[in-house]
Amino acid sequence: MWQYIVKRLVSLIPLLLVVSFIVFMFIHIIPGDPARLLAGKDATAEEVEMARASLGLDKPLYEQYFVYLKDTLTGDMGYSVKSGAAVSELIGDRILPTLGLTFLSIIWALVVGILIGVISAVFRNKWLDHLGMFIAVSGISLPNFWVGLVLIQLFSVQLGIFPTGGAEGWKSYIMPSFALGAGIMAMIARFTRSSLVESMKQDYIRMGRAKGLGSRQIIFGHGLKNSLIPVVTVAGLQFGFLLGGSVVVETVFSFPGLGTLLIDSIQFRDYPVVQAEILLFAFQFIVVNMIIDIAYSYLNPKIRYE
């Protein structure tokens, strides 16, 4: 098992290099001259050249890349054009609230989604199944910003239970994580249901019954673990999208996370911050993918030994 994880970690290195190169090229792909952009509209040619030198853009491309790589690895991601603060500090302040929010969302989505999926599969075509699938369809079809607005209207404005926004105290996490996780919960519920229904038709389930196992042991001991492989795939992919989805939800709840930072930075053309955030998102996606792969090997012993 550990060997497998180490192997997977090593295989990340080339992938990260490619991603970092693409992100590095970002600043060169932007239309216009970043040096001129930094120096300002009225800058003289001399000032532009100075800005160019300060950005290191006068050096050959490969050298620039290695400098960029070295800086990034040592945590130096440049300075915000807008505020002049170190990008690493800006991101450092925002990363914990966003991670907290995404984890809360994925955890409740997994727990509730799997539960609804199992109930629906067990009571297939009964009213509990219809209710579960109604919740699932609602979760998929209602856009999360709208869910967020309704929640604010109901629980903040009308009832005054939760704050409308911010990230102070656990109460301010409840509504954003609900809005963020609703869609994923719905997806997970649907996948769990169909996957478990499929598992329950397998020979080993009949074998389990012939052994005298009760329904609970059959479902949780034998059926569910086999059904979780597609569920993990969906949950993992969705987790990746959560990082993007949080941009919208964070904006609705004025949540001081990476999503709102990204929106602000894009609006102000604050390229160093945007660049660093893209690298971070890509990195998170890769890490999540790796966690999915490891989860597979846990769920499917065949993967572990091949």
Partner 1 sequence: MPDLLEVKNLKTGFHTENGFLPVVHGISFHVNQGEIVGLVGESGSGKSVTSLSILRLFHDTHGEIVDGGILYKGENILTFSEKKMTKYRGKELSMIFQEPMTALNPVLKIGKQMRETIILHLGMSKKEAHQYAIEKLKSVGIPRAEQVMEDYPHQLSGGMRQRVIIAMQISCNPSLLIADEPTTALDVTIQAQILKLMEEIQEKTNMGILLITHDLGVVAEICDRVIVMYAGRIVEEATAVELFENPKHPYTKGLIESAPKIGSKKDRLNSITGTVPNPNNMPKGCKFAPRCPSAMPICHEKEPELMADGDHTMRCWLFDEEVEKKGEMQYG
CB of 155 to partner 1, least distance (A): 41
Give whichever of 157 and 207 is closer to partner 1, judged by the CB atom. Answer: 207
Do the Cβ atoms of 23 and 71 come closer than 8 Å? no
For 68-88, the three-class secondary structure string (H helix, E strand, C coil) is HHHHHHCCCCCECCCCCCEHH
CB of 206 to partner 1, least distance (A): 6
Give whichever of 162 and 191 is closer to partner 1, judged by the CB atom. Answer: 191
Residue 85 backbone dihedrals phi, psi, to 5 degrees: -75, 155
Neighbouring residues of 140: CB distance < 8 A, sequence distance ≥ 6: 183, 186, 187, 190
Give whichever of 56 and 221 is closer to partner 1, judged by the CB atom. Answer: 221
Angstrom distance (rounded) from CA 200 to CA 220:
11
Give whichever of 57 and 213 is closer to partner 1, judged by the CB atom. Answer: 213
Give whichever of 71 and 198 is closer to partner 1, judged by the CB atom. Answer: 198
Q: Is 65 helix (H, G, I), strand (E, B) or coil?
A: helix
Give whichever of 48 and 205 is closer to partner 1, judged by the CB atom. Answer: 205
Q: By the criterion CB under 8 A, which residues form the site for partner 1? A: 200-214, 217, 221-222, 225-226, 299-302, 305
Query: What number of CA atoms fall less than 13 Å from residue 112's CA on the CB side?
Result: 19
DSSP 217: I
Give whichever of 184 and 200 is closer to partner 1, judged by the CB atom. Answer: 200
Angstrom distance (rounded) from CA 77 to CA 283:
15
CB of 200 to partner 1, least distance (A): 5
Angstrom distance (rounded) from CA 38 to CA 36:
5
Neighbouring residues of 185: CB distance < 8 A, sequence distance ≥ 6: 108, 109, 110, 112, 113, 116, 136, 139
Backbone CA torsion sign across 101, 104, 118, 142: negative
Do the Cβ atoms of 136 and 189 come closer than 8 Å? yes
Angstrom distance (rounded) from CA 187 to CA 191:
6
CB of 202 to partner 1, least distance (A): 7
CB of 293 to partner 1, least distance (A): 16
